[in-house]
Each structure stands twice: as structure tokens, then as C-alpha cells.
Structure 1
């Protein structure tokens, strides 16, 4: 077990202490390098502390007024497995940027005001020491570029040397009929509960890998934007490659699953 995080004091605009939600001893095994390289794997251990105001959730019991740690764990697992990080610093930066991202209407949660992230690689090559990186960031430290598209908006979360992390927000009544980059390997996690994929309901938390240049379609029949978390990597694929079957990264007991 890792040592507890040493956390700074964070306050809101009125000087009140913010509450802290922690995700401790969270471990993910993921492949290293590009999607076409294969082979070597790494084990990452994360400690995440989120600073926010949980008083409303304590009063009404609604998970939308706090952060659902089960969903967050699934989303972070998706990012680490899909990005295939090779070093500690990009892991920490990607995670802290994601947890500070403003929430979307289809997947509401309390805005995280600050975050501390520590990333450890317990099985680093050499074995003489256990390397770790810890970062602390506040909401407002980052600007998230937003691209307007015919289908809605794209929030650019983090761009690394061989991967891009973004959130696709599909407008009400809109659709996306193909990947934005046909020569990019895409992994996608469905964040909203109202999307159709190939005409069938796409369950929240479902992850699809291998959408490289394929014709696939998301439809949003609802009255609010519906979002998908995407990781893109360069890779050339066969023209007849099939859509990879999705699996859920959210806990089965999640009461918000449709």
C-alpha cells in the first residue's frame, strides 16, 4: 500500500475549506507504446485526491452533486489502457486535466476545484527504486480548446506525442457517422445515457476499441448534448476491420445505468 498523499489546503471563493474525495491504491495494467507495437506492459498505481464542495450531496444524496468514484475509476482505467503511456509525467498530467474538466449535461457531477495526483510505477525497469510523480493543479490552470463541428463540439483535454484525448459532445438531434481521423486508432467510452450506436442504445460506461477508419454512427435523439470520451492514436488498419465488441468500464451496481 502506498503512503497517504500529503495534501495542501484548498478553499472556495468564500474562504471555506473544500472537501476531499480520494481514490487510493488504484492500479491499472496497460500496454506500452503505440497501438501497433504490442508487447511490453506496465503497471501504474494512482492516488487521486479531488477538492470540491460535497455539502449538497450530503443533504440530498444525489450522486450528480458529488463525484461518483466508481465511474471515475472506470474512466481513468480507460485512459491509461487506451493511451499506452510510457512514462510517469504524461500519466499524471492527463489524469489531472481530465478530473478538472467541467462536467457535461448528460453526465453531471460537482465541479472539481483542485486535484492532487500521484503516479507510481511499482515494477519499473531496474528495480532499484520505485519512481513516482505527484502533481497538484487547480480549476482554471488549464484552457480546454473547444472545436465546433457540424455534429456539436469537441473538447480537447490533452495531446501527447502519440495520442489525443478529447470529449465529443453531440448536439440534440445530431449524429456522427464516421471517425474524424480515418487513419487514427480510436477508443471510445460512452459518457452519456442517451446515445444510439448503429441504431441501438449505447449504455453508459461502454468502451469500444478499434474504431479505426470504420463507418459507424452515433445518434443523439435526446434534448441535451450527449458525450463520448475518445482517445486517438495513429495506426493504419485493414479496410475490412470489424467494430470491436464493447464492454462496460462502470460498476454494475451503478444506479444511473440505463
Structure 2
């Protein structure tokens, strides 16, 4: 990596002075809508993302399980989804959202190590036409994060971040629960399925699949599993309660919709290996 693009996260220590381990993901490039000018709201441009996650990986080293560390393959897909779906106006919004997402506590259906701090840099390489390369780098800790929470009939919602023109939420569907058939007329909605036990439109859906719901499109989720299941949701603008209009499924059934996978296609070399098992 050239000196121009060097990424220098700080050293972060535990209360007793031991340096935390660092997982870095550098150079994730995503073509997305970002910026405040008319031309930027119409055409995608590249953003380059660098992330450093501070955590304790010793349990993963001993037990050999991904649930005790961070699956950076899946995380890359989740961050790419956020950058594409949110359509940020400012770099400040993009880096803050990424930080808040990676520092959020893990859920039962997607076990991983808790990240204690994160350094995030977003670079906008084409913004100034080659005259200079603007970027923004921030550092945040899990201890300073406060997440809103709303109880729902289907389970609960974690409010990850809300900003100008967007809202990012984790929809946590309890065992046996469902997000009833509903429709939006004002919000545009994009969702990434994080858990592996959900039904979408009454049919099984694979984790890592993302869906963009047009206005007026009926959709629902059901959780027939014994574990809470999670969906990462982006609303544009942020969630409008009156625009969550529940309705009965039509007699002919719910229409299918084509999704897009954000997770790596690689399968473990040895299916059922300890690395893939739950803690």
C-alpha cells in the first residue's frame, strides 16, 4: 500500500494495558450513490473502505470457531450492502454508520466476538477529479455507543443509526414470530437476511440474500426456528411508522422477488468442521 493510502489505526489496550488484537480489512471498494451534488445523486461512484476491528481473538485461536472471532468475508458483504443501500450524502454519515454497525452487540443467530473498538476510513477517490483524494477516518468504542430499541409484536428492532434520508435497523424476529404481510407507499426499503432460519414470502431464504422492495410490494418474514433470526434493514427515508401498512396476504399468494447474495460463495473445506459450529 502506497504512503498516500496508508492506513494507521491506533493501538487500543484493555483496562489492564494489554493491546487488543486487530482484524483489518483494507481497500474494500464499492460503487454507490454518495454525495450532495446532483450528478452524485444520479450516478454511482467508487468509495474505498478501510476498517480495523479491535477485539480478543484468543478463544478463536484455541477453539477454532468463527463464532469466537469475526467472519470478515460476511462482514465485507454486510458493509457493501450498507454503502449501496443507504445512499449517503456525506462521508461523515457513511463512516459513522459503519462504526455503529460493527460495534453493535452480536445476536444469537449470527454469533461472533464482541468488537470493542473500530477505526473506519472512507475515501472518495474520484470526487475532485484527480486534484486530491478526500477521505475521512474516525475511531469509536463500543462503550460509547447507545442503541435505541423498540419492542414489536414480532420481536424487537435495534436502531443502529438514523441520519439524513436513511435509517439502519436490525429486525430481530423471535422464535415462532413473523413480520406480518405489509406494504410501504413512501419509504424505499432494502433488506439483507443475516440469519439462516427465516422464511420470506413463506419460502426458505438463504442468509446473505438482499432484497430491494419497491413501493407497493407486499412482503413478510416468518421465523419457524427455535432461534431469534435477524434482518438488516435500510429505509429511505428513515422509518415512518404510518407507512408500515399491514394487510392480509392475497388469495393468489405473495409474489416472489429476485434477491442478490452479498456473502462469499465459498463453502468450508470440511462441512461441519469446528470452525462453522456454534459456541
List gaps (5 residues or longer) in structure 2.
Answer: 244-254, 269-275
2:19 matched residue in structure 1: 17
**Deviates most, 68-77 or 178-187:** 178-187
Check if 1:84 corresponds to 2:87.
yes
Matches for 1:1-258 after TM superposition, within 5 Å: 1=1, 3-32=5-34, 39-179=42-182, 182-234=185-237, 244-255=257-268
Structure 1 position 7, deviation (Å) = 2.0
Per-residue Cα deviation, 1:130-175 (whole angstroms, up to 9, x for no partner): 0010000001211000000011000001111101000000011000
Q: Distance in 1 between matches of 2:85 and 2:194?
A: 16
Please say if residues 178 and 214 of structure 1, whose CA atoms lie closer than 8 Å, have aligned partners that are also in contact: no
Answer 1 or 2: which has greater helix percent: 2
Give SS of 1:177's match.
strand
Please say if residues 177 and 215 of structure 1, whose CA atoms lie closer than 8 Å, have aligned partners that are also in contact: no
How many pairs align?
250
Pick closer, same or farther for the CA change 1:87–1:217 going to 2, 3 Å.
same
Q: Distance in 2 between matches of 1:149 and 1:108?
A: 22
Structure 1 position 213, deviation (Å) = 4.0
Using structure 1 for the length normalisation, give the TM-score.
0.90
Per-residue Cα deviation, 1:99-149 (whole angstroms, up to 9, x for no partner): 001111001100000000011000003431100100000012110000000
Q: Distance in 1 between matches of 2:31 and 2:56?
A: 32
Structure 1 position 38, deviation (Å) = 6.3
Per-residue Cα deviation, 1:185-205 (whole angstroms, up to 9, x for no partner): 110000001001112111010
Q: Distance in 2 between matches of 1:254 and 1:173?
A: 29
Pick closer, same or farther for the CA change 1:32–1:7 going to 2, 3 Å.
closer
Q: Distance in 1 between matches of 2:183 and 2:142?
A: 29
Using structure 2 for the length normalisation, give the TM-score.
0.83
Q: Distance in 1 between matches of 2:89 and 2:217?
A: 27
Q: Distance in 2 between matches of 1:54 and 1:180?
A: 42
